[in-house]
Amino acid sequence: MHFLSIRRTVKSSLRNRLAAVTMVGAVTTGVGLMAASPASAASDSSIALAAKSAGLSGCRGVPTSTWVAIALAESGGNPSARLATSIEDSRGLWQINTWAHPWTKGINLYDTHANAAAARKVCSMQGPTAWSTYSNGAYLKYLGRGHAAG
């Protein structure tokens, strides 16, 4: 009886791990990170201000409203968002991938303004298609909020 109890516990633990891995897979192959709770999210207007201050607004002709929408789609507006997988380590509002951009070493990408400045550099090198949420159109869901903020 004791052996069966341990076996059930192990099965349950494996099932929980599989569910967690499945969730991570869904998040990484989906449209960015899950939405941040209101307590951890930056205001839309503060995201717009960071984009403007860093010179991200207008990069490659992309307006502030779109950059706000990209940040919301990428991180849920959470400056502390992080997606760490076997293929990336993306941080902050615009989910800057530190593995793809080693020049970010030493930059606090959880800081809203530093993340916006890094996003500006990524945009200048690669354009907005560097963000999957731009390429796949997921940002469009947030564009109304972007217009209101920007």
Threshold 0.85, pTM exceeds = no
Distance CA 109, CA 91 (A): 6
Phi-psi domain of 88 (left: phi exceeds 0; alpha: psi -120 through 50; beta: other): beta
State the number of CA atoms in the 13 A half-sphere of 26 facing the CB: 7
C-beta atoms surrounding 55 within 10 Å: 15
Taking only the tens place, the pLDDT of each residue in 44-100 is: 999 999 999 999 999 999 999 999 999 999 999 999 999 999 999 999 999 999 999
E strand or H helix at 68 = helix 64-75
